[in-house]
Amino acid sequence: MTETDAGGTQPDSAQLTGAQSLVRSLEQVGADTVFGIPGGAILPAYDPLYASKFVRHVLVRHEQGAGHAAEGYAMVTGKPGVCMATSGPGATNLVTPLADAHMDSVPIVAITGQVAGPAIGTDAFQEADITGITMPITKHNFLVRKPEDIPEAIASAFHLATTGRPGPVLVDITKDALQGRSGFRWPTELNLPGYRPVTKPHGKQVKEAAKLILAARRPVLYVGGGAYKAGAAKELAALVELTGIPVVTTLMARGMVPDSHPLNMGMPGMHGTVAAVGALQRSDLLISLGARFDDRVTGQLSSFAPGAKIIHADIDPAEISKNRVADVPIVGDCKEVVQELTGLLKAQGGDQLRIDDWVGYLNDLKKRYPTGYDEPEDGTLSPQGVIKRIGEIAGPDAYYVAGVGQHQMWAAHYLPFEKPGHWLNSGGLGTMGYCVPAAMGAKAGLPDAVVWGIDGDGCFQMTNQELVTCALEGIPVKIAVINNQSLGMVRQWQTLFYNARYSNTDLKTNRVPDFQKLAEAMGCVGLRAEQPGDVDAVIDKAMAINDAPVVVEFVVHKDAMVWPMVAAGTSNDDIKVARDMAPNWDGEEL
């Protein structure tokens, strides 16, 4: 006899319901937190879940919140996040976070109820073909129709989500499979034909890479989110220390090399620093580690890094040469690739690279074009200054979660990124509404950490209801609403490209809603700052509150813009540091 939380005391061979098998499987894989909402088709699973002493279920207010919370949990714990929903609308509400996790390679497992097997295809009540719908936005998905198949599906889902290139996996289980009975058999081996992710890089490719690095005069380490997922920060630091090669950290990799490191040129891309964009454009060798040559980084692809050879290391072979042909492709886990590369370089004079002029040139760019902003002359708050101050007060040990828009880009520039994995945002899909639920998931995963959300007034209005969940479940996140009364990023494009015709971007969020009252109505503490003199006081107050979620509204100037900027579809060479102001690339004839 063994004690199972799923179904009371049961002999292993006893018949469990599929629902009991599901909960027991979740216990078996160590899933301690599930974010979800029940409904008809998934209801059988909620009954044994009620009895589980190991699995905590967090009752969210919208399934999208459950999905982003699972992402936030996964990003900070390194364990897969789990979300659960019923069939039909419950499952379709998970589509956005699944797509989000797919684009950003976040390991989550979504469990959905499905109508009973015989009803599939009949347009039954709350029937949606969720495996069909999510086929292109999941790493894999399963439709489980028999109770005896549940344990293997769950074991496989967790394995698939976390191995190789991480990503979302959906397990759709019919109601009759949840209600039916079978013996519980935990698989000793998984039946996943053809799934064998390559983690160990090919020695010959690493040798070729080392050869290119030793010959390069303008090498750059182009570090992406995959390097974080591989846990490669320590190995990367050793490679940088040995070779002295300058680094750029993409939006998804902020903190992988500390911003305070003299060789970190900052974030590349559409809103990247001049030094990072210049580094890529003028490089003769890009060493891409878990990055994917995203259009927001490359700008116009045909003019991206025109003189650079490419070493592209990625665990997903499909990424290599997808956008830019690699001279040396390396399929493998970033941590292992960097380790092997550093070992080889150490033995071959990798500490003697002749790149001093190059490093000097980039440092000069960094000095001449620091990313900065002006305080508004009318005495109102600058959004950049507010975000910077939050970072200074909360420090690099806090976890920061952003929404999508101008505030996200300012957060990416002005927060203190000194440690890997302390920055969560929606980079690939660019999902407004990510911030509040992802912050909730992060705080649920790391209850002792300080978690700050930096959200826009537009984004906040998409998913703020999860603050009710936070208040009731004891998940005290801190959310800064950067209220510029508009859909700021879209407004910025209207300013620059649509003759300042502000079609439908004015949110009129001057007290409608009243964010402070809204916060209080949701069981949170609501604070507001409107004058520069209020800023430190409200941040300090928020920092001192640890027994309730806090929302701090910062009413900021609406015309602030994100700079630098490479206009969409144009060349990185045409980066502007302010409106009509381009950098002077002096010294490029190195």
Catalytic residue among 175, 443, 478, 558: 175
Q: Which helix (H) or strand (E) holds 441?
A: helix 435-445
Report CA dihedral (562, 565, 569, 571) to the nearest 10 degrees: -170
Which residue's CB is nearer to ligand TPP, number 275 or number 482?
482
**Contact with ligand TPP (CB under 6 A): which of 20, 52, 484, 494?**
484
Hey, what are 465's tokens? Answer: 């209801």
| Contact predicate 550/524, CB 8 Å | yes
- Minimum distance, C-beta of residue 326 to ligand TPP, in the bound complex (Å): 30
Residue 458 Cβ vs ligand TPP, minimum distance, rounded to whole Å: 3
Residue with tokens 């790149």: 355
Residue among 21 and 484 whose Cβ is closer to ligand TPP: 484
Q: Catalytic pick from 20, 28, 63, 388?
A: 63
Type of residue found at 64: Q
Does position 169 interact with ligand TPP (CB under 6 A)? The reply is no
Q: What is the pairing mode between strands 525-529 and 285-289?
A: unpaired
367 as an active site residue: the answer is no
Q: Of the two residues 48 and 391, which places its CB atom closer to ligand TPP in the complex?
A: 391
Residues forming a β-bridge with 248 = 222
Interface with ligand TPP, residue 488, by CB under 6 A? yes
Q: How far is CA 333 from CA 161, 321, 419, in A?
A: 15, 17, 20
Q: How many Cβ atoms are within 10 Å of 503's Cβ, its own excluded?
A: 9
Task: Single out the segment in contact with ligand TPP by CB under 6 A; choices: 85-93, 136-144, 161-169, 402-410.
Answer: 402-410
What is the per-residue binding string for ligand TPP in 352-391, x denoting contact by CB under 6 A?
----------------------------------------
Q: Nearest approach, Cβ of 451 to ligand TPP (angstroms)?
A: 19
Phi, psi values for residue 344, rounded to 5°: -65, -45
Question: Is residue 490 near ligand TPP by the rule CB under 6 A?
Answer: yes
Q: Is 28 a catalytic residue?
A: no
Identified binder of ligand TPP from the candidate list 48, 405, 421, 564, rule CB under 6 A: 405
Do 407 and 370 form a contact (C-beta atoms < 8 A)?
Answer: no
Quick check: 48 and 104 in contact, CB under 8 A? no
| Backbone angle region of 379, left / alpha / beta, with phi > 0 → left and psi within -120 to 50 → alpha | left
For residue 467, the one-letter residue type is: L
Of 266 and 383, CB closest to ligand TPP = 383
Out of 489, 492, 516, 558, the active site residue is: 489
Q: Which is nearer to ligand TPP, 431 or 464 (CB)?
A: 431
84, 436, 442, 489: which one binds ligand TPP (CB under 6 A): 489
Per CB under 6 A, 406 contacts ligand TPP: yes
- The reply to whether 407 sits near ligand TPP by the rule CB under 6 A is yes
Residue 404 is a binding residue for ligand TPP (CB under 6 A): yes
Is 139 an active-site residue? no
Within the chain, what is the greatest distance between any pair of CA atoms?
77
Alpha carbon distance 392, 535 (integer Å): 12
Residue type, 96: T
Strands across the sheet containing 247-249: 247-249, 219-223, 285-289, 309-314, 328-331
Compare residues 232 and 459 and give the one whose CB is closer to ligand TPP.
Answer: 459
Return the H-helix or E-strand segment holding 99: helix 95-103
482 touches ligand TPP (CB under 6 A): yes
Radius of gyration of the chain (CA): 25
**Is 15 one of the catalytic residues?**
no
Q: How many other CB atoms are found less than 10 A from the CB of residue 11?
A: 11
Contacting range for ligand TPP; rule: CB under 6 A; set: 61-69, 76-84, 321-329, 482-490? 482-490
Name 472's Cβ contacts closer than 8 Å, sequence gap at least 6: 59, 523
**Binding status of residue 456 toward ligand TPP by CB under 6 A:** yes
Q: How near is the Cβ of 585 to ligand TPP at its closest, in Å?
A: 29
Q: What is the dihedral of CA 257, 261, 267, 273, to 10 degrees?
A: 180
465 is catalytic: no
Do 400 and 259 touch, CB atoms closer than 8 A? no
Site size with ligand TPP, rule: CB under 6 A: 20
Residue in 10, 126, 179, 300 annotated catalytic = 126
Q: Which of 38, 151, 458, 526 binds ligand TPP (CB under 6 A)?
A: 458
Q: Does 457 bind ligand TPP (CB under 6 A)?
A: yes
Binding mask 408-437 toward ligand TPP (x if CB under 6 A, else -) reads ----------------------xxxx----
Which range touches ligand TPP (CB under 6 A), out of 45-53, 238-246, 333-341, 403-411? 403-411
Continuous segment of H or E residues that includes residue 358: helix 356-368
Chain contacts with ligand TPP (rule: CB under 6 A): 403-407, 430-433, 456-459, 482, 484, 486-490
* Active centre residues (catalytic): 63, 125-126, 175, 489
